Amino acid sequence: MTAEKPTGPLGDHLDDDDYPAYTMGRAAEMLGTTQGFLRAIGEARLITPLRSAGGHRRYSRYQLRIAARARELVDQGTPIEAACRIVILEDQLEEAQRLNAAYRRTAESTDPASAA
């Protein structure tokens, strides 16, 4: 069986972690939390959901992962503002480590002395 390009309403977005596919109600249900929690982390600027043409919030899978991490921290007793800041810092650290590793690979592949 060969994979065909999706032609439904999501088109090629099935593998796109940044595609805003989930409504607020569905996102809250998936996370086992309330819509108020999603609004609160939005107000804390942890995530910024996209808006549909009708003005409804839409969340991506990436945003749901971020929200799930914040919920873990809040469930452990961390205040929501602190949880959001922690998640932002964790995300920035992960990105910095990824960039650092990429720079190292580039430097090692272009430095003839390191190959010896």
pLDDT, tens digit (0-9, with 9 covering 90-100), for 31-68: 999 999 999 999 999 999 999 889 899 999 999 999 99
**Would you state the pLDDT for residue 116?**
52
Please state which of the ranges 15-29, 67-81, 89-103 shows the lowest mean pLDDT. 15-29
Q: What is the mean pLDDT of the chain?
A: 87
pLDDT at 3 over 50: no
Nearest C-alpha neighbor of 46 from the set 18, 28, 23, 69: 69
Assign 16 a pLDDT band (cuts: 50, 70, 90). Answer: confident
pLDDT at 17 over 60: yes
Segment 102-112 mean pLDDT: 88
pLDDT at 6 over 50: no
**Would you state the pLDDT for residue 1?**
42
Nearest C-alpha neighbor of 24 from the set 67, 79, 76: 67
Q: Say what the pTM is.
A: 0.74
Assign 11 a pLDDT band (cuts: 50, 70, 90). Answer: low
Give the three-state DSSP class for 19: coil
